[in-house]
Structure 1
């Protein structure tokens, strides 16, 4: 199955899991909060309550494991500025217990410090504690040492696995639970497990789930929790209402897939597509959502799975290097509106029927939410054309014309209580946000030339226009305004009733993108006119703020600070422009031989020893590289074929000289050997382990890396071939496997191509058949290797059942050693039971005829690329030198220190093969990238003034002549300060 098909299948599988559980509707319930935590976090079926207040959860997914600790605050602040009030994180097991029993919760691994940072920003946290995660992370977050525990089976009631989980939870959960909101921390919810085949929500299907629940209860969980996740999808709201009278909690999506991990940067359509999907949640009754990912980050070190390399940008709103994408501002627009009207959204019912007649254009769909405090009405243009809708809401209010862009959902506000004296009767415009500032309520409104801002208020008392009085109309004691735009900062309008003030700030979309809500001296403030607002402080009535704009954009215009009763023009202070280069000069390269382990005389006495070679990681090494060595005694000169299981890439050396390079998963390699004793050294490397999505059972033999199992060497070969000419015939039911195999003829049996889905994404049954010809050399046995069958297989040889296997993406083998059978063509038949989605034989079936070859034993293994930190072994890289095997390369560089610029630098590994990059000792991750030649991001906190060191490990020893350090201009930012006195 190719990678693209795998991704599609994985998405389809999740959609199935998200929409069924034991043939019934999905369970999206949340376990209730403990009594002691109820005053701090609670819910009913309409919404969440935090500290007793109805709260809409606009949550941002990010992983602290993918962000250096020095940048945690920066990334969290950027998300908070976009209106997010919550973050959702995984506590990846192998990030915290990489070696069995050795836990790491310090430095970049300091979960407690991360949660404290979340708290310091006034945000909440949803923590997903596993023990399985997925996350496109190496082995789905499982520590590699789990593979080497006999009898261990993951994600089921297995004593060995549960013992390991308990020990990890004993270290992890006290950190999480001490940060619960009722204990002064930010944690408001906890997720157990992740995307399990069986238990979602509050479903407890077996003892494994019971043990997880018992464990968290015994360790003191008090906030709400749930299993596996809630509503995972790229469009989780779908097209219907999200109301469910039987659900005890609000609707919530823990994985709203915003873009996808195969993308870097933004596509032009992303913002509109995901804005629509977000507004559907708001309009249809959702209590919140979590974007996966809002900030993707990086796979540093060896943490990537086999689908990624160093980048986990995800095409997300907040880019890998902290840059703000167009989708960021779309998310901000939705979050600020939802949070501004959370007292409606978290306590409402469907009121669609009451507002169907406010538009006459049948193209526009209308939905509405109603609560005691007010109503929200949403105009939905699902068409691909711009629509101008005529909106008539009341006989005393003139009809308004509102232009909706294709796929736009446009909110209106009705009868919303702003304070005891003022009710917003109608807002016939897009309200961007609502800010309470003492006795002032500020309404942020987004308008355009086609859609002016129209507001109608009912008041209890005499209204007095205090700002731009000419724009207001007062009639029958009520007040309205038709606000217009101005060039720079938003236009400002205000009025008062008995000391209660309403201020309206009206700007176009670009102006609202440059509008920020924050706090100063304990009060909410608004700053307009800057592309991004970072830190802000007020001392002695002096404001100082750090701001920025994209390096490729023009300088920002006028900025203004809005306090409760006044506004202040802010002075922008820019650094003097300084010319700088967008490339960095690398010093002359040095190299260090990383293939010394192939030399016959190398001392390997301290290496990990075993009879047969063991998978990478058996020696507790966590890198993606390993060396294997043994000796061979060759009886006669000639061509030999060596067979060994494992993965991914390997290079063989005989007496220190490279003889072959191959993919271990192919099963065999052929090379020439001379008679006599030789040292055989094999270098292996991999691109990340499978994330084991949906996998339950033993992981020992799943996605092996390096060499594994018995190694055979035999003169001649190759001995492995792939079966061809498969045919298929459908079966009616599972019991058909007990009947005779249907007679073969080409009118009923149809040609079948390996990897094709014959079940049309449905449950089904079928027979698959091919003929294995007589093998040359009269082998004493044949081994039939199945890499993956989807899903359960029964295997027949010449009509006789010989084997059964359950599960997809799990290899198995069938051996044929009857001499009489081997002398004739063999009919191989497989009966497959497909449980859901695509099905068939999804990987090539290989025939191995090596029989009994020489078995190579007494293996030694060294998992590690080698030591580049020591001074010895480095030499000047001379021109035209070529290498046969891995090499380290070293250079130095100096990045320009440009005041007022946040420059983003990337290492471009052009001309190299596979490997890793270190800058000043920090491992940037693996190359090549799988999403284009974007270069490897260097976190700015890892660079320093003066000389910086660059180390490259290239597996094939390709020369670094084309390697470069380049500025990523679109992600770089200009920094300036805003100052003001009041």
Structure 2
């Protein structure tokens, strides 16, 4: 099965509790000293004493250059988000042991201050494990080489290094807690641990993290691992739970997935509905993972990604806005506008169950002291026109929509919104004016009804407003026009303004705060910075580069409607690609040459895994000498991870996947220099893994190396069969007699347990080993979950855990004289189960060892000037640098997006002006590696490529991504 699908179903859901552990969705309360800043009850959150619906956006500051933090945060804020959720990757802040970095792109403190300055909150997930499709799951590579260390368990060595990291990290986070004037409202300890979620602390490791955080000043609410991770966290149930001591919240609402670049048809509708289900059924907040994906710069990607972590997110990797962005904006502003209801409500579905008798709609409702909201749910694929029983108003509910009706909501002092039969986008408080923004499609009835308090005389300020005593009614038919309609009335000192528009217009409507005042702006595709200077408001509006001019843009203050005037705009067109200067090359395969000196390399008897010398790159060279008694084909076996290129006496000899464990070499008689260049495409994120990591997902070559004439000696076992067992104890009796009436064919990777707990026998036959074989070794990459291994009916090994390699060696001379029956009894406790990865058998037996190795990791991306030569398309395969230049001309009226298209290259890295854009080839459909605008220079720019396979760069181009580009229009208005 595809790895990412497997991870979706198995690694990210809080069913870890089913594996013999427990979980909940509870949150530890704030310390008493922090409750004035952040508190909660079982109905909702309170921030600074005010009921607050938390609409959070997942964004990793580590995946965005710090020069673009403000831009991305502003895009998040403009979409109605009031919070951002982040990881604090350990290996991003302590890449080398005891060398901490909290500056520049790593300046977590500055990021949190910026969030606060922008009027938003932050949820910080401090680890020490993260996942996130990030290299090594966030663990520093140097942790692999600490003896006795086991991750995510009550291990003193691990806890020592966690404490040292937390001593640096947590004071930054805690200084920015909301009760101390900062942005941080929630903290997550650990992440997606297999043993405890919420407030469950099953062992000393969890208690250690808690004690450490509290000792360093944690005061805001916190929890372990996560809350309600899912692509549809609201599900079909109801978040309501009177027994829950805290609000319902989802820390990972997966909006799209990391295997996608850009928007796909249907994304917006699917995730829009899933969001409204949370709002309608008692949820108190959610965090989209991801709202902005970003980039895996440098070597931060894991083995499932390359440079792009676009995620198909609402805000693209390059800052462009996708259709899903606008649906998220709609839900966010509604939830925040009516947070007084949603954060203090109970289920009122029975009260309003007969509001519509249309069988195509399902009714749900929330009630609170602040008012009620009734949701008309059309889960079908066709629109439903429903007549409301108590009013006679006909509502048209779109396919998949949860249509909200607002009832008895106090809209302003002394004024109640009795009924809103029209969809409300947002309610904006502007001094004594409350502006209601609503959308209604052409031909539909726009219907809102208000009641004033005793002694308040209402006066209409617009045609269409009808006042009868203390009742104010607005019932008009929406015209067939894109024009916004404005209605208003006053009551006492209060003004109610209603802006009626269609959905396309609400997409272009923005709520901004500047200088302590709220403004509504309509007509812009996106609204950037807003500044007020001497009563002049200046606005930077954006339009997608490929879109037409947006037309008129209007500004609504508390008491005025102003047209924003456009300044002069420079007409600039973006070329499809930029001209590159002639390529230069610098060969990087010198370590393969026989006379190359290795005095400063790491020397050892057997090869050591990549990173043993402290290098953090995904590249390493290995060298040794090998002597053979006769010419012929030889097989060298050594454990490995990644890709390898072998050189014999300086000449390319073989390429192979290091995970295969062996390589064939044609050798002449005598002594030879063997050099091996190794590379990998990212380390595993170690999801769900607990224990020692020294031997997990090792890269390069490592362990004992053997060489033997002949081969190959490693094969994959096939022809598997499966038979179900009734219980765990069946393993004690040994495997049943093979019978095809009982056993059925099995394909490695298939789930035979239908995502449920179960037991079963997996059987195959190992061909009789060659004569003289003294042992065979069986390599299991992963069995889900526990495995008991039998050879010819006799138990020889037991292994607990999944995604954890293990080996079984068979040395019984009698067993090796004939075909060997192999049986594996598997215990599965949740989700998919079976043999995940191919099982290999190794028959090399006795072989000569290859000793005395030298290793050096890393690359020098600054070759000396004399090493640069004109490009030669004919050269030996192997790593090589290539250099060129391109020129960029900046435009104040446009944001052009440029990417490096590595077409027809192998594997490697790209730098622009010294900034590492990340790894290629991309594993998703990104159109090349994104160049952040802040890393470009106005004029010449240097492009550097390091191709590990030595592919030449004739087809590389710096290309435009016009779909992500933007046109910037400066708008002004005078506020008299």
- TM normalised by structure 1 equals 0.97
After superposition, residues 305-316 of structure 1 pair within 5 angstroms as 305-316=302-313
1:734 aligned to 2:716? no
CA distance 1:853–1:433, change in 2 (3 Å): same
Of residues 880, 889, 913, the one that matches 2:882 is 889
1:354 aligned to 2:351? yes
Q: Secondary structure, in 3 states, of the residue corresponding to 1:703? A: coil
1:474 aligned to 2:474? no
Of residues 616, 621, 626, the one that matches 1:627 is 621
| More deviation, 686-695/9-18 | 9-18
Of residues 92, 115, 121, the one that matches 2:89 is 92
| 1:926-975 per-position Cα deviation (integer Å, ceiling 9, x unaligned) | 11111125211000000011110000111111111111111101100001
- For structure 2, list consecutive stretches of 5 or more residues without a partner in the other structure: none
**1:582: how far off?**
2.1
- Partner of residue 967, structure 1: 960
Q: Distance in 2 between matches of 1:511 and 1:755?
A: 49
Of residues 483, 500, 504, the one that matches 1:506 is 500
| More deviation, 848-857/247-256 | 848-857
Q: How many residues align?
A: 973
Q: Distance in 2 between matches of 1:22 and 1:721?
A: 33
Q: Distance in 1 between matches of 2:347 and 2:62?
A: 40
| 1:822-854 per-position Cα deviation (integer Å, ceiling 9, x unaligned) | 222222222221222222222111111111212
- Partner of residue 654, structure 2: 660
Q: Does the aligned pair in 2 maintain the 1:21–1:198 contact within 8 Å?
A: no
Q: Secondary structure, in 3 states, of the residue corresponding to 2:567? A: strand
CA distance 1:608–1:452, change in 2 (3 Å): farther
- Partner of residue 836, structure 1: 830
1:643 aligned to 2:643? no
Q: Does the aligned pair in 1 maintain the 2:586–2:863 contact within 8 Å?
A: no
CA distance 1:489–1:541, change in 2 (3 Å): farther
Q: Does the aligned pair in 1 maintain the 2:466–2:472 contact within 8 Å?
A: yes
- Partner of residue 572, structure 2: 578
- Partner of residue 522, structure 2: 528
| More deviation, 21-30/798-807 | 21-30
After superposition, residues 51-450 of structure 1 pair within 5 angstroms as 51-394=48-391, 399-450=392-443
Where in structure 1 do 4 or more consecutive aligned residues deviate above 3 Å?
18-26, 461-467, 483-489
Q: Distance in 2 between matches of 1:450 and 1:617?
A: 67
**1:17: how far off?**
2.1
Q: Does the aligned pair in 2 maintain the 1:257–1:293 contact within 8 Å?
A: yes
Q: Does the aligned pair in 1 maintain the 2:79–2:332 contact within 8 Å?
A: yes
| 1:611-668 per-position Cα deviation (integer Å, ceiling 9, x unaligned) | 1111111111111111111111222211110001111110000111100000011111
RMSD: 1.5
Q: Does the aligned pair in 2 maintain the 1:887–1:954 contact within 8 Å?
A: yes
Q: Does the aligned pair in 2 maintain the 1:18–1:231 contact within 8 Å?
A: no
Q: Distance in 2 between matches of 1:19 and 1:341?
A: 35
Q: Does the aligned pair in 2 maintain the 1:580–1:896 contact within 8 Å?
A: no
- Partner of residue 784, structure 1: 778
Q: Does the aligned pair in 2 maintain the 1:889–1:953 contact within 8 Å?
A: yes
Q: Secondary structure, in 3 states, of the residue corresponding to 2:748? A: coil
- Partner of residue 685, structure 2: 691
Q: Secondary structure, in 3 states, of the residue corresponding to 1:236? A: coil
Q: Does the aligned pair in 2 maintain the 1:457–1:480 contact within 8 Å?
A: yes
CA distance 1:24–1:422, change in 2 (3 Å): farther
CA distance 1:567–1:869, change in 2 (3 Å): farther
Q: Does the aligned pair in 1 maintain the 2:12–2:192 contact within 8 Å?
A: no
Q: Distance in 2 between matches of 1:738 and 1:875?
A: 69
Q: Distance in 2 between matches of 1:840 and 1:768?
A: 8
Q: Does the aligned pair in 1 maintain the 2:734–2:794 contact within 8 Å?
A: no
Q: Distance in 1 between matches of 2:797 and 2:916?
A: 46
Q: Does the aligned pair in 2 maintain the 1:782–1:850 contact within 8 Å?
A: yes
- Partner of residue 604, structure 2: 610
- Partner of residue 47, structure 2: 50
CA distance 1:488–1:467, change in 2 (3 Å): farther
Q: Distance in 2 between matches of 1:936 and 1:613?
A: 34
Q: Distance in 1 between matches of 2:40 and 2:15?
A: 22
1:453 aligned to 2:450? no
Q: Secondary structure, in 3 states, of the residue corresponding to 1:352? A: coil
- Partner of residue 678, structure 1: 672
1:772 aligned to 2:766? yes
1:943 aligned to 2:936? yes
Q: Distance in 1 between matches of 2:16 and 2:337?
A: 31
| 1:873-895 per-position Cα deviation (integer Å, ceiling 9, x unaligned) | 111113x4233111111000012
1:803 aligned to 2:815? no
Q: Does the aligned pair in 2 maintain the 1:762–1:838 contact within 8 Å?
A: yes
| More deviation, 35-44/734-743 | 734-743
**1:727: how far off?**
2.3
Q: Distance in 2 between matches of 1:28 and 1:870?
A: 57
Q: Distance in 2 between matches of 1:251 and 1:580?
A: 47
Q: Secondary structure, in 3 states, of the residue corresponding to 2:849? A: strand
- Partner of residue 12, structure 1: 9
- TM normalised by structure 2 equals 0.98
Q: Does the aligned pair in 1 maintain the 2:408–2:419 contact within 8 Å?
A: yes
CA distance 1:459–1:869, change in 2 (3 Å): farther
1:928 aligned to 2:925? no
Q: Does the aligned pair in 2 maintain the 1:18–1:232 contact within 8 Å?
A: no
- For structure 1, list consecutive stretches of 5 or more residues without a partner in the other structure: none
